[in-house]
Amino acid sequence: MYKVIAECVDDRTGRRYKAGENFDPPPSPAQAKRLQKAGCVEESDETLPVDKMSNAALIGELLEHGRAELTGRSRDDLMAAVTAARRRAEDGDEGGLDTKTVAELRKYAEENGIELTAETTKKADIIAAIEKAKG
């Protein structure tokens, strides 16, 4: 089991995890390594409940969380998320840009001919610049 220590996204499902949550289902070994390197997750001894009633409650909670995530989003937001996920899959960019460190993002931008200004130092700003350049 992995405990989330900094907000991150599961590259398989697109679900965003916040600090303090359990990353479940567990990430693939490659994704776990990336997330640990980025300081997003750490291994935890916590396990999920094993009795059927607890599992049913957990599943209900997960479904409610999923509905809440989707309820506040417009159709355009959802379509943009699907398009971005498809683009990452086509580019072979496992985990997307938000799983990369600032240094990795700068290297990615350089390798793809994307110019970043000296003022572009925050991770979110670098990702926005890359996404804008990609169109």
- For residue 114, pLDDT over 80 is answered with yes
Sheet holding 22-23: strands in order across?
A: 22-23, 2-4, 41-43
Q: How far is CA 108 from CA 11, 74, 94, 113, 114, in A?
A: 18, 30, 13, 9, 8
User: What's the predicted TM-score (pTM) here?
Assistant: 0.35
Would you say 30 and 94 are in contact if contact means Cβ atoms under 8 Å apart?
Answer: yes
| Helical axes 102-111 vs 123-134, angle rounded to 10° | 20
- Two tokens, residue 80: 């943009």
Which pLDDT belongs to residue 89? 64
- pLDDT digit string, tens, across residues 44-57: 776 555 555 566 66
Are 23 and 2 within 8 A, CB to CB?
Answer: yes
| Mean pLDDT of all residues in 107-114 | 90
Q: Please write the tens of the pLDDT for every residue from 24-76.
A: 888 888 999 999 999 989 987 765 555 555 666 667 777 776 776 777 777 77
Kindly tell me if the per-residue pLDDT of 121 is higher than 70.
Answer: yes
